[in-house]
Structure 1
């Protein structure tokens, strides 16, 4: 059952082959239906692409109608489209406020995401965004991992040092910055 803060909210998710014009096609279509975007993400994942957004639906527009209309878009041909009611509070809590960015790069290391995310957990840091990519490099390939995190101020220095020490131990570089 939706509360006042969640009434008329939907989560729109698409996954399809990556192509030029995806974000424009999706967001223009949503705008034309009177839908307002709240938090949204887009990512190319290999040769695929994923778009997700919390959307405010105008009165009378159902999640089924939004899903059907998105599924009929040429830019989403062959896409997995899912539109569901959004039952969470759309206002981000304090743990969603990014305080630091951490970038680790170098050779790919199995378990790297797990090791670094465990460090953040130990220091009560919340991962708000995560991006990992394998990029071409002069020496072959370079793995780049970016975390946007919310770290309690009193734990930030030691948390960031632990992440940097872990990266260094693995022969990787680590850059951190406060936001």
Structure 2
């Protein structure tokens, strides 16, 4: 089996970051598996499970990434990936849920607890504070895997919680 590594970077956000990192990985003969990128405030985070060619070590990859100009000032970490790279059924996204409105302390915890109660797995989570005409708007986006027999009641609980907090809830079934 091909050696797997987890590549993680965190640095100031800048144009060309994803292109610079992924081009370098491609030039090293690396195949990307699951990958994520996110702007976090004025920072940015890129993570990917990578299939390494036989001749490339984790240490060599960390060194070459750390030397990239696009990653100047970045935290770069490359480690062996020891989990099964094949996603299981719990990562099959069945619904996308967006909740938005005013920021509510504890909102992520509250909504994630609802998903847990109904055996729903959060596959992706994105939370952002966005400018709005009235100030700021907090937007939470969940990509979740909900067991079919529990989906209706789970989504109702999420919608009811949002409504109680004067938030907007939008659900898309996939």
1:67 corresponds in structure 2 to 62
Q: Secondary structure of 1:161's match?
A: helix
1:85 and 2:84 aligned: no
1:133 and 2:128 aligned: yes
2:30 corresponds in structure 1 to 35
1:52 and 2:47 aligned: yes
Segments of structure 2 that go 5 or more residues without pairing to the other structure are none
Segments of structure 1 that go 5 or more residues without pairing to the other structure are none
1:103-155 alpha-carbon deviations (Å, 9 max, x no partner): 00000000000000000000000000000000000000000000000000000
1:25 and 2:20 aligned: yes
In the superposition, the TM-score normalised over structure 1's length comes to 0.96
Q: Secondary structure of 2:150's match?
A: helix
Q: How many residues align?
A: 174
Regions of 4+ moved over 6 Å: none
1:112 and 2:107 aligned: yes
Q: Distance in 1 between matches of 2:119 and 2:61?
A: 38
1:177 corresponds in structure 2 to 172
Q: Secondary structure of 2:55's match?
A: coil
2:150 corresponds in structure 1 to 155
Q: Distance in 1 between matches of 2:128 and 2:37?
A: 14
Shift of 1:90: 0.4
1:102 corresponds in structure 2 to 97
Q: Secondary structure of 1:165's match?
A: helix
Shift of 1:60: 1.4
Q: Distance in 2 between matches of 1:172 and 1:36?
A: 41
Q: Secondary structure of 2:112's match?
A: helix
RMSD over aligned CA atoms reads: 0.5
